[in-house]
Chains A and B, each alone.
Chain A
Amino acid sequence: EVQLVESGGELVQPGGSLRLSCAASGFTFSAYWMHWVRQAPGKGLVWVSRINNDGSSITYADSVKGRFTNSRDNAKKTLFLQMTSLRAEDTAVYYCARDVGGWYGMDVWGQGTTVTVSS
């Protein structure tokens, strides 16, 4: 079964750091671009970052640039999001998603992990 499972979300104080993980199974992880997408409570989907299949090309939304780092370990079939200098507005459910490429869309999503930034 093709599956993505996120973990690492928790309550963290403003200014703190957190690392999210996304474990892939059931497909050739190294062949796909991957995304992080977040959704604040009661709000819409917001794209956070994408990484190409070998990790050599990474793009970020302006709102997280310089604070978040997207990376992957293809040998361990895992995607990571290192988050630093966290703010209250980073509070959201964070999803990882597989990208088929081109205009084929994000065809597999994880269940999400919740990050709450509060004192």
Chain B
Amino acid sequence: SYELTQPPSVSVSPGQTASITCSGDKLGDAYPCWYQQRPGQSPVLVIYQGSQRPSGIPERFSGSKSGNTATLTISGTQAMDEADYYCQAWDSSTEVFGTGTKVTVL
């Protein structure tokens, strides 16, 4: 089965950098996407193709990958970035979301 594992929570001070990892055995061949979900809202795509930002997503959001681990980095974190974040990947038979990470801006 296709599984993606994320840390349950990450805490960051305003203005600092938050890093969220996403690990999976099949990520080596993947270019995962990342989604932000604020409380009570629908998910929003913040990174696609592993490292690309959609139009309208602030430059402080960036994505990278090394081996079987992808990372979402939020530089200069703002209070509005407090949300749940999910990685996502797919293959020919399935799509999968990561377990999700709650980012708290202290």
Contact = CB atoms under 8 A, between A and B. Distances in A.
Interface of A: 35, 37, 44-47, 50, 59, 61, 95, 97, 100, 102-107, 109-112
B42 to A, nearest CB: 4
B99 interface: yes
A90 to B, nearest CB: 17
Contacts of A109: 42-44
Interface size class of B (residues with CB under 8 A): 20 to 34
A61 B94 contact: yes
A95 B42 contact: yes
Given A35-B95, A45-B97, A107 B45 contact: yes
A102 B43 CA distance: 19
A59 B93 contact: yes
Please list the 10 inter-chain residue pairs (A to B) with the smallest Cβ-Cβ separation, ordered nearest first: A105-B33, A105-B48, A103-B31, A44-B100, A47-B95, A109-B42, A45-B97, A103-B49, A105-B45, A107-B45
8 contacts: A44-B99, A61-B94, A104-B49, A105-B47, A105-B49, A106-B43, A109-B43, A110-B42
Nearest to B93: A59
A103 B95 contact: no
Given A45-B97, A112-B42, 12 more contacts: A44-B86, A44-B98, A45-B88, A47-B95, A95-B43, A103-B30, A103-B50, A104-B33, A106-B33, A109-B43, A109-B44, A111-B42
A50 B92 CA distance: 11
A68 B44 CA distance: 25
A40 to B, nearest CB: 12
A106 B46 CA distance: 10
B64 interface: no
